[in-house]
Chain A
Amino acid sequence: MSASVTQSWDELTEGLWRQNPTFVMVLGMCPTLAVTVSGVNALAMGIATTLVLIFSCLLVSLMRNIVPGEVRIATYIVIIATFVTVVDYLIQAISLELYDALGAFIQLIVVNCIILGRAEAHASKTPPIPAMLNAVGMGAGFTLGLLSLGIVREILGAGKLFGITLFGESFQPWVVMVLPPGGFFVLGGWLLIFAWWARRKEAGGAQS
């Protein structure tokens, strides 16, 4: 019993930390850089991707024994595209403003390599429940990555956090932060912090 709990926990946390899609695997950089101009956009994109990831991984996992190897990529892409279309309609139904803000990047979830990567590398070899747990963790990890960019860029570039103005009238926004180069700056900054952290941990582990 405890072994299976540990295993489930392992599946769930893999994406959150050890194999974080943004900071460790550096996957799905296109939405990471493009939509993270504000916290709300980042959060919405993260949730949308997570939903697609969970349902695609579930279906891929359920069908893992009947999909012939020759046509597996075609199958996965059709499954992923289906859930992206569904999420696309859902976002339109929830908020058109959000839909306009995310623009083409909702449709581009289809080619987000995290999803195809998880379907091919994990869900196609794993039973449904661990596959879904892993997808939840990966999705949460991706959302976390997007949020850590979105929040920093919104604070620096617009002086706001989730649309609430933080500083007074005199705040001069650091506009480059909400432009494409700002995405690279902030991503670079976060990768630097994570790399430094990982190295420090390694060094600490070697000493003890």
Chain B
Amino acid sequence: MSEQLPETQPAARAPAQSTPTGAMLRTLGLVSAICGLAIVSAYQGTLSAVKANKIIAQERAVFKVLPGAKSVDAYMIGSDGSIEVAREDAPNGVLRFFAAYDETGRLQGVAAEGAATGYADVVRVMFGYSPDCECIVGFDQVSSRETPGIGDKITVDKDFRANFKSLEAKLNADKSALANDIKVVKHGSKTSPWQIDAIAGATITSRAVGKGINDTARALLPKLVPQLEKIRSKR
């Protein structure tokens, strides 16, 4: 692509005699100071609104994957493996999840985020886990850049969504791991309740959804389920 600036006249701008170093440094210093001030004040000014937006977006996603939920508490798995109230300053790799409650404050389910590489970029999904049926009861995409009309069907394809009405995620006998890994199978070959029937033509995106959910479920559920009593009622 050739791009031209019709009015540019570099020859006219080139100064005949050079500017003293001090003047250049002064100008650059001044510009940096002004710009630094502008960036920091914009950051500080928008911080609370951005945080509020993020919380609203997360809550909305939780309500979508756990129908019937009325309020949400954010938790995380602490370094010693116990459930703690989610903190902003927690390290990046920490497992976070949301506990959702109905009107009476009874635990409806747990929602967590999973991510895996899809066709174009990382597909991030939120899924809802119900401790009553030990299964996944809903999922929604948080962000993805999948091909419109193909990969982005994960949010609209009725057959695919039906996989997540009660997708089994039981733990094994000693509650140390999932009894069966959640697996995406080729379209039309689902045989077990822990399998996800892929969308024909969008297998890669379907697999990313399954892998994202499975990775998080494998890491989170063995730690979470034994301590479920702690979050039974709203804090």
Contacts and interface: CB of A to CB of B under 8 A. Distances in A.
A70 B15 contact: yes
B53 A96 contact: yes
Nearest to A117: B5
Contact of B27 (A29, A67, A95, A121): A67
A132 to B, nearest CB: 17
B46 to A, nearest CB: 4
Contacts of B145: 103
B9 to A, nearest CB: 8
A129 interface: no
Nearest to B41: A86
A192 interface: no
Interface in A107-132: 113, 117, 120-122
Interface residues of B, number: 38
B46 A68 contact: no
A86 B7 CA distance: 28
A103 B49 CA distance: 19
Interface stretch (B28-36, B62-70, B189-197): B28-36
A93 B49 contact: yes
A8 interface: no
Contacts of B14: 69
B50 interface: yes
A160 B110 CA distance: 35
A79 B31 contact: yes
B56 to A, nearest CB: 8
A100 B61 CA distance: 15
A121 B7 contact: yes
Interface string B109-122: 00000000000000
A92 interface: yes
Interface stretch (A41-49, A143-151, A171-179, A196-204): A171-179
A71 B28 contact: yes
Contact of A75 (B15, B23, B27, B38): B27
B6 A78 contact: no
Interface in B47-76: 49-50, 53-54, 57
Contact of B32 (A78, A92, A96, A97): A78
B32 to A, nearest CB: 6
B154 to A, nearest CB: 16
A89 B57 CA distance: 16
B148 A78 contact: no
Nearest to B52: A93
B155 interface: no
B1 A29 contact: yes
A13 B234 CA distance: 60
A195 interface: no
A37 interface: yes
A25 B38 CA distance: 31
B6 A93 contact: no
Contacts of B31: 63, 67, 75, 78-79
Contacts of A25: 4, 6
Interface string A25-48: 111010000000100000000000
Nearest to A175: B149
Given A68-B24, A79-B35, A90-B42, A96 B148 contact: no
Nearest to B150: A175
Contacts of A90: 42, 46
Given A26-B1, A92-B53, A179-B148, 5 more contacts: A37-B148, A69-B15, A78-B28, A79-B35, A82-B35
14 contacts: A29-B3, A63-B27, A63-B31, A67-B27, A79-B35, A81-B35, A85-B42, A86-B38, A86-B42, A89-B50, A92-B53, A93-B50, A120-B5, A120-B8
